[in-house]
Amino acid sequence: MAASGKGNSQNGVVTGGVEDAYGEDRATEDQPVTPWAVCVASGHSLLRDPRHNKGLSFTEKERDAHYLRGLLPPVVLSQDLQEKRLLQNVRQFEVPLQRYMALMDLQERNERLFYKLLIDNVEELLPVVYTPTVGEACQKYGSIFRRPQGLYISLKEKGRILEVLRNWPEKSIQVIVVTDGERILGLGDLGCQGMGIPVGKLALYTALGGVRPSACLPITIDVGTNNEDLLKDEFYIGLKQRRATGQEYSELLDEFMTEVRQNYGQKVLVQFEDFANHNAFTLLEKYRANHLVFNDDIQGTAAVVLAGLIAALKSVGGTLADHAFLFFGAGVAGTGIAELVALEISRQGKVSVEEARQKIWLVDSKGLIVASRNETLQPFKKRYAHEHEPVKDLLGAVKAIRPTALIGSAGVGRSFTKEVIEAMSSVNERPIILALSNPTSQSECTAEEAYTWSQGRAIFGSGSPFDPVKYNDKLFVPAQANNAYIFPGFGLGVVISGAVRVTDDMVLAAAEGLADQVTPEHIDKGLIYPPFSIIRKISANIAARVAAKAYNLGLASQLPRPKDLVNYAESCMYTPYLPILQMKDNNAELQTLDELCTTPLEELRMPITVSTIVEPLCFPVIIV
Ligand SMILES: O=C([O-])CC(=O)C(=O)O
Ligand SMILES: [Mg+2]
């Protein structure tokens, strides 16, 4: 697809020349423009192509080269000015869902500008494209539907999944996020309308983790829904039937996994998202040995919480093994975290995982999980069924176990009552309270409740964001214990190392990589995570840790191993900024993007300072 030489056009397709359609022409006499370019659609279709459309920031030269003259008003705006205008527009909407729709429209119109806006304003816009607003968007997806996003694979496509995958325009996919919509956040079964989640997660893969957008593929598998409201909803976008289960379900999933590998090879990361408990564990266990799979709700959530606990203990004191942990909710998130904490305790203290599990207690809808309930427990709960008399509710469990940390992931809003938080505060100087359920409506308690009821002593984190809280004249900044800290960097680490499997050690490495970035200053302020404003730096560090582990385990296929993995990860990250190419030395031999990509670094006599042009490539180029 790359073309060399000066720009020319054939049949409405322009092949580059002195400037490429991805970038702005900033050439000066001493800064020559690039000698390579990429074929793109021209004219009207270029303006309708969100990946390459630059709207009013197409330069005069580009307007000539790409048949845009007259199709745009005369003004040429900088990308910064476009961003300023868009931000003003988004802020004018007071209803979060309208902000969400405005941002989705932008993504559909001018992808680079969407990512620039998101990256530059991550703390403000994360709650719009992600939890909590994305939850409401999924609930109303049918009525707000404008243009399809992602790929839909329904029971109707059984036996034809390869054909569906081939219909997707991008061929070099690196990350797939897939859901079957059965447990969307803490909102339950939203069927096909769960599509908002893979779309949102992948937007974060790009904005927070730097995986290029064209390498990301959101997928929803529609096997029906048991949500009566949706089945009756005239605007519902999915199959109007009850969920397929058993063999029919597993055959469809098997076909999906097989065809993904057939179409994209074995190095595409498949992230399972928001599957119901019963399928989430089974699918992860079934595919992890032979496919590159990651379950965000089990492994991503576990890593972010473990990192938060490690950081919190820096102010509480002691090691993980010195404390007891109580989980409210024994589903995928709760038991996923419990297992990772147990693994870390066993690694730190050189004890068995079984012994480490003794520090961990779970409460489900029937009360504390104890040995006498063994007969009726699902296998993943049995490991935590310790000897103890029965305790029927959460408050009783807090009083009996006296845990240092209380971790909620049951999707039951307001279940951390005043009594529960007071009980935590009476046994701890600094109780650790993590209200992980999403979106905000399902949060176990609010930040204000946690701080007020603990008299300002709680170390609090929540899955969905809360504003800072003033209590007794002191400002408390709640942590957002959300897997968004982990999965973008984790995925980037997998991609840059060419890892072929995901192991628990890689997940542990991600958790440690995040915990290591919590500084003493953060701890002093009561923060257990660094701020999202530096998330790309955080992701690069996590990616480096994950990649290093993959190399050490012999699971990385991208050879040779780069010397400085953090630098390398950073250099591979997609950036939406329009490029300012600074060629220090004109390298006449390099004519095309393909040649640039295949030229060994040491031979690259043309250092460039931005990675923007890397976007269309299927593998990273180090930017010097
Ligand atoms: O999406 C989020 O905010 C976190 C998550 O994975 C979930 O709640 O299922
Ligand atoms: Mg999830």
Please report the ipTM that was assigned to this predicted complex.
0.98
Q: Is 438 in the pocket of ligand 1 (CB under 6 A)?
A: yes
For the segment 551-578, what is each residue's pLDDT rounded down to a tens digit? Answer: 999 999 999 999 999 999 999 999 988 6
CA-based torsion, 14, 17, 18, 20: positive or negative: positive
**What's the rounded mean pLDDT across residues 597-601?**
46
Residue 380 has a pLDDT of: 86
Q: What pairs with residue 175 in β-bridges? A: 216, 269
Ligand 2 centroid, distance to 297 Cα (angstroms) = 5
Atom of ligand 1 nearest to the CA of 438: 8
Residue 102 three-state SS:
helix
pTM of the shown model: 0.87
Q: What is the number of helices (H) and of strands (E) in the chain?
A: 26, 19
Q: Catalytic one among 201, 359, 381, 549?
A: 201
The band of 609, judged by pLDDT with boundaries at 50, 70 and 90, is very low
Q: Is the pLDDT of residue 183 over 60?
A: yes
Q: Is 297 in the pocket of ligand 1 (CB under 6 A)?
A: yes
| Separation CA 540–CA 615 (nearest Å) | 17
Residue having the nearest C-alpha atom to atom 3 of ligand 1: 131
Q: Is 483 in the pocket of ligand 1 (CB under 6 A)?
A: yes
The band of 52, judged by pLDDT with boundaries at 50, 70 and 90, is confident
Residue 578 has a pLDDT of: 61
Q: What are phi and psi of 197, to 5 degrees?
A: -70, -55
For the segment 392-441, what is each residue's pLDDT rounded down to a tens digit? Answer: 999 999 999 999 999 999 999 999 999 999 999 999 999 999 999 999 99
Residue 12 three-state SS:
coil
Atom of ligand 1 nearest to the CA of 300: 6
Active site residue 201: yes
Is residue 121 exposed (0-12), middle (13-18) or buried (19+ Cβ within 10 Å)?
middle
**What's the rounded mean pLDDT across residues 262-268?**
95
Q: Catalytic one among 115, 130, 205, 485?
A: 130
Ligand 2 centroid, distance to 273 Cα (angstroms) = 5
The band of 523, judged by pLDDT with boundaries at 50, 70 and 90, is confident
Q: Which residue has the higher pLDDT, 95 or 599?
A: 95
The band of 610, judged by pLDDT with boundaries at 50, 70 and 90, is very low
For the segment 97-117, what is each residue's pLDDT rounded down to a tens digit? Answer: 999 999 999 999 999 999 999
Give the length of the chain.
624
**Which tokens is 539 given?**
């992701």
132 upstream amide cis, omega within 30 of 0: yes
Ligand 1 centroid, distance to 482 Cα (angstroms) = 7
| Separation CA 112–CA 58 (nearest Å) | 13
297 is annotated as contributing to ligand binding: yes
Contact 431, 453 (CB under 8 A): no
Where helices occur in 498-585 by DSSP H, the ranges are 504-515, 520-524, 535-552, 565-572
In this structure, how many other beta carbons lie within 10 angstroms of the beta carbon of residue 585?
Answer: 9
For the segment 228-257, what is each residue's pLDDT rounded down to a tens digit? Answer: 999 999 999 999 999 999 999 999 999 999
| Separation CA 85–CA 79 (nearest Å) | 10
Give whole-number Cα distances, 568 to 209, 461, 511, 530, 623, in Å.
Answer: 13, 31, 20, 22, 9
Ligand 2 centroid, distance to 270 Cα (angstroms) = 14
Residue 611 has a pLDDT of: 34
483 is annotated as contributing to ligand binding: no
The band of 81, judged by pLDDT with boundaries at 50, 70 and 90, is very high
Which residues lie below 8 Å from residue 467, measured CB to CB, with a gap of 6+? 447, 478
Q: In the predicted model, what is the mean pLDDT of the chain?
A: 88
**What's the rounded mean pLDDT across residues 290-304?**
98
Contact 186, 270 (CB under 8 A): no
For the segment 378-394, what is each residue's pLDDT rounded down to a tens digit? Answer: 888 999 999 999 999 99
49 is annotated as contributing to ligand binding: no
**What's the rounded mean pLDDT across residues 488-508?**
98
Lowest mean pLDDT among 127-131, 539-543, 614-618: 614-618
Residue 41 has a pLDDT of: 66
Q: Write the DSSP string, 22-60.
A: TS-----SSSPPPSEEE-EE-HHHHHT-TTT--GGG--H
Q: Is 428 in the pocket of ligand 1 (CB under 6 A)?
A: no
Residue 577 has a pLDDT of: 80
Atom of ligand 1 nearest to the CA of 200: 1
482 is annotated as contributing to ligand binding: yes
Q: Write the DSSP string, 335-380.
A: HHHHHHHHHHHHHHHT--HHHHHTTEEEEETTEE-BGGGGGGS-HH
Pocket test for ligand 1, best of 466, 483, 486, 487 (most atoms within 8 A of CB): 483
DSSP secondary-structure letter at 296?
I
Atom of ligand 1 nearest to the CA of 186: 8
Residue having the nearest C-alpha atom to atom 7 of ligand 1: 185
**What's the rounded mean pLDDT across residues 112-131?**
98
Q: Is 437 in the pocket of ligand 1 (CB under 6 A)?
A: no
Residue 65 has a pLDDT of: 84
Ligand positioned closest to the Cα atom of 273: 2
